[in-house]
Structure 1
């Protein structure tokens, strides 16, 4: 029978033994390079999956019947952002040796999930290969939480503070938490509801990395939580119980995430202002649709966007073109189906500090740029290159410079925009080889009105390039 109180009581003897074992422990630097846990999650936006290895659970009993090392490898091959290892021995049948074994074979960050209440457990975690650890707010006082967060920082361990309600959110933020996990499972009665994330997520500041934990088993739930600015997910039971965990993990990924795992080239038709143009863009082969919400002659209102959304396919990802001024509206736009926010005129430091929503920085790709001015964008999954500070100008992007940017930002993907047309996109693709091409002016018969024939011609030129280069890609 599950008892959280009994579990914590049983830990006291374990903690005493750990203090003896690690009293004089000296850390040696891990030679194997891994991304930081938080950076790995950002790199996998908008669908960063932390795939869990869990031997058993109080609600389901024995779960894992295959080799946990093979399962971990299948998660890595499927594109997981990180691995979660449950080490609690009594109810979850885990152990610290399992953490060590998985860390030894993993090329991605490893997250230790346990009921940690003492600093010595952080030392144990670090000594056995953890890159990040779970701290559960309901088990700790605010002072204990603050001390554990500070000590973890000294050990170069990242921390996820798990919460279940608003009071725990306040406690976590007051203690200095930078990564918060909202557990959809109630630890007292083990009931489960992703409404927990939906209720709490709007109160989480944008500079805090947010993870939704438990109860996630389908892409539908992922997309639903994307609307609340959640782009990282801890998934356990649904993967472990699947007859094909690798395929199951891949099936969870959102459409735009699946696109980001491919080379492209994809097409973004931007500056959509009415339902007819949106429908024509999709039928002409658009992979992404762009809507302008910042100052522009193509700017549309929130109500106009809602009207367009009612008439177009929801499966095609939508991108909002904005500046930092409009970014404050991201929650209402995300709820209506915006998948990503293309932010113009923003300094790297300001944008990189924003953990939510999923932002694509737009850089003016012109002569005279300084590499230092854009280095802060490295590590973001997607970068937009344009011919002017604000898009839609029709000015051609400096293609040779765009090639330099693409190499500079690798392995981030690059969208090329600026003065593209059906007649020059083939050449642009040949010179820059971007992940996607973005066009607005070049497919219009007059300002703000799209020409279906030009859209089709643009698509045909991209397909022709793709066909001619498929053997060399």
Structure 2
């Protein structure tokens, strides 16, 4: 029996306390309209284990809880076109579990969303709400939830035990959320199996990604081996994943994905990184790149390249898989670049020659705004001094590639990676001789991703399926 009083918060000035005050009123009204006696006898246990799904997460291969969220107090409306069918049909390919917001007032969620999502996938579904009563737990199971969220910033230990025990009796798992040392200690003492660390301060909505690092490091010797740590909130890119997976076994990601118009590629970018397979010449290689986790596919139009293709070849390749295609050009006419980019509806054009800032500015005025401009920075394999260049605001991504005495790109050789400018790694994709043998060192450089070409080939333009798979398994 719960004795904690949620109708009279100590401090109603913070966002969290306002939410809890409203939640207590919502529960009272909902229970009056739809009494527990009307549905309790019809409840069955969940047959999808939240704990088993999350147990597969590790520091090497994190588990992902991907979230269906229409709005939030910190961001307002996040996804106007909130189509659960479309969202679930993307998430089912990548998630260990799927989180569904059911709070109405602050997140525009509904309990009815739970079965809608669950019927479209095989993963366990987490009911994400501000749980303060046994009635809500029963209601979550009635709507087919396989797990619930319990926030230690909201419930005391006695309330937690009542709600967690009830959830377990219904076959549901519990994601136990913490946000500071006191709550993390409580989670450990309460025997929580999956502990979430919310990097967002729910009282003022600020975000600190170091929170999960500080807490896990402080209590490292007290965290049981079978307990899974989940980092929640503030995850927007793969660099953050790589930084935090040293201490977390999984990630709960919502807002950054829900804000994207291209949800599938947004998920791929954050989970796998911004990785590109370049020099594609065959349909089967395009499919292999996509199936293994590539975000971008490189199509080379630079004359003289062993992997140069025609417009007709490219038109066949771009229909083979939903990669973001990048056209690679080298010292070619602006009108030619624009023509190819428009006809293929490229995601980006990559300039791999001696194009000047003036050339890039002129190209920008003629290219559709939706098509990005990338620039390759060629670093001599014998170079020992720092790479200096001016960051061009018209350039979205830089490709740092190897150069030998007589060849730019496609050399199969690496350059000295210590020369990569630290302050621009958030815009850099690393290229040049990356293969299954050095991919682990390459991704440790902290760039956005890697650009694969000759290192995953059996011959120029022919990708080796086993090498591509090997690289992405290590990513």
TM-score by length of 2: 0.54
Q: Does 1:13 align with 2:25?
A: yes
Q: Does 1:145 align with 2:163?
A: no
Q: Counterpart of 2:243?
A: 224
> Deviation digits for residues 297-345 of structure 1, max 9, x if unmatched?
xxxxxxxxxxxxxxx834279xxxxxxxxxxxxxxxxxx9xxxxxxxxx
- Within a 5 Å distance, the mapping from 1:29-428 to structure 2 comes to 29=44, 35-43=48-56, 45=58, 46-202=61-217, 203=219, 204-228=223-247, 230-254=248-272, 262=292, 285-287=435-437, 313-315=441-443
2:43–2:141 CA contact under 8 A, matched in 1: no
State the shift of 1:68 in Å: 3.0
C-alpha distance in 1 between matches for 2:245 and 2:255: 21
C-alpha distance in 2 between matches for 1:201 and 1:254: 24
Determine which structure has the larger helix proportion and give its number: 1
> Deviation digits for residues 87-116 of structure 1, max 9, x if unmatched?
111111111112232223232111111110
C-alpha spacing 1:76/1:34, structure 2 compared with 1 (3 Å): farther
C-alpha distance in 1 between matches for 2:198 and 2:243: 16
C-alpha spacing 1:222/1:236, structure 2 compared with 1 (3 Å): same
**For 1:161, what is the secondary structure of its paired residue?**
strand
C-alpha spacing 1:195/1:22, structure 2 compared with 1 (3 Å): same
C-alpha spacing 1:35/1:123, structure 2 compared with 1 (3 Å): closer
State the shift of 1:13 in Å: 3.3
Query: Aligned-residue CA RMSD in angstroms?
Result: 4.0
C-alpha distance in 1 between matches for 2:434 and 2:24: 65
State the shift of 1:465 in Å: 9.7
2:57–2:228 CA contact under 8 A, matched in 1: no
1:78–1:249 CA contact under 8 A, matched in 2: no
Q: Does 1:4 align with 2:16?
A: yes
State the shift of 1:285 in Å: 4.3
1:81–1:108 CA contact under 8 A, matched in 2: yes
C-alpha spacing 1:288/1:74, structure 2 compared with 1 (3 Å): farther
What 5-or-longer segments of structure 1 have no aligned partner?
264-278, 290-311, 318-335, 337-455, 468-473
2:16–2:203 CA contact under 8 A, matched in 1: yes
> Deviation digits for residues 435-468 of structure 1, max 9, x if unmatched?
xxxxxxxxxxxxxxxxxxxxx9x99xxx98969x
**For 2:127, what is the secondary structure of its paired residue?**
strand
C-alpha distance in 1 between matches for 2:465 and 2:231: 41
C-alpha spacing 1:19/1:466, structure 2 compared with 1 (3 Å): closer
**For 2:149, what is the secondary structure of its paired residue?**
strand
State the shift of 1:78 in Å: 4.1
State the shift of 1:231 in Å: 2.6
State the shift of 1:178 in Å: 0.9
C-alpha distance in 1 between matches for 2:107 and 2:214: 28
State the shift of 1:215 in Å: 0.2
1:34–1:107 CA contact under 8 A, matched in 2: no
What 5-or-longer segments of structure 2 have no aligned partner?
1-12, 276-287, 294-413, 415-431, 447-455, 468-475
C-alpha distance in 1 between matches for 2:289 and 2:224: 28
State the shift of 1:218 in Å: 0.3
Q: Counterpart of 1:333?
A: none
Q: Counterpart of 1:430?
A: none
Q: Counterpart of 1:410?
A: none
State the shift of 1:252 in Å: 1.4
